[in-house]
């Protein structure tokens, strides 16, 4: 089993419900170890759009990184995500952020996630679950405003 982290975010529709459904689907597989607090965050890049809700999920998994990416795509599809505008509004964004011991770069998957070190909406919830990966200083260098608003009521 391997420690892995997925980032989930949404800014369309019932944002909490979008995250709740994605988390329930991940929990159904049985490898969820921890879920960060819920963070409301400003969009980074892309067109003007509403605030996001973000969280990070820690898994203990036997899935390959490629299978984790497939699971992320399945979650997005279940949330009826439409990819019309790069970095545009979305019902669900699910990303493989980190898989212990994995460093790779291909057309479909880059690990660690290439932009996670620049984004506070990833760094803050990730630091909450994995302070061994994200120092206070690294978190402070991340761009964008974040506000912890509690936990995902389930």
Give CA separation, 81 vs 10, 11, 23, 114, 139, in Å: 10, 11, 16, 22, 28
Range of the domain at 49: 2-150
List the structure tokens of 37: 């607090």
Active site residue: 93, 119, 120, 127, which one? 93
CATH number at residue 10: 3.30.70.560
List the structure tokens of 112: 């660690």
pTM: 0.93
Q: Residue 14 above 90 pLDDT?
A: yes
107 catalytic per annotation: no
Q: Residue 81 above 80 pLDDT?
A: no
Residue 121 backbone dihedrals phi, psi, to 5 degrees: -65, -15
% of the chain with per-residue pLDDT over 90: 73
Say how many domains are in the chain: 1
93 catalytic per annotation: yes
Per-residue pLDDT, 88 = 65
Active site residue: 15, 71, 90, 127, which one? 90
104 catalytic per annotation: no
């Amino acid at each position: 089993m391997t420690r892995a982290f997925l980032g989930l975010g949404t800014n369309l529709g019932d944002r909490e419900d979008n995250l709740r459904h994605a988390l329930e689907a991940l929990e159904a597989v049985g490898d969820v170890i921890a879920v960060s607090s819920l963070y409301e965050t400003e969009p980074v890049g892309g067109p003007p759009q509403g605030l996001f809700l973000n969280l990070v999920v820690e898994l203990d998994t036997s899935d390959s990184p490629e299978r984790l990416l497939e699971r992320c795509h399945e979650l997005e599809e279940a949330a009826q995500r439409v990819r019309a505008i790069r970095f545009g509004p979305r019902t669900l964004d699910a990303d493989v952020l980190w898989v212990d011991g994995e460093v790779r770069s291909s057309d479909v998957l880059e690990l660690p996630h290439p932009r996670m070190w620049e984004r506070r909406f990833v760094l803050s919830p990730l630091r909450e679950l994995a302070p061994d990966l994200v120092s206070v200083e690294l978190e402070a260098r991340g761009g964008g405003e974040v506000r912890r608003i509690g936990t995902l009521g389930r």
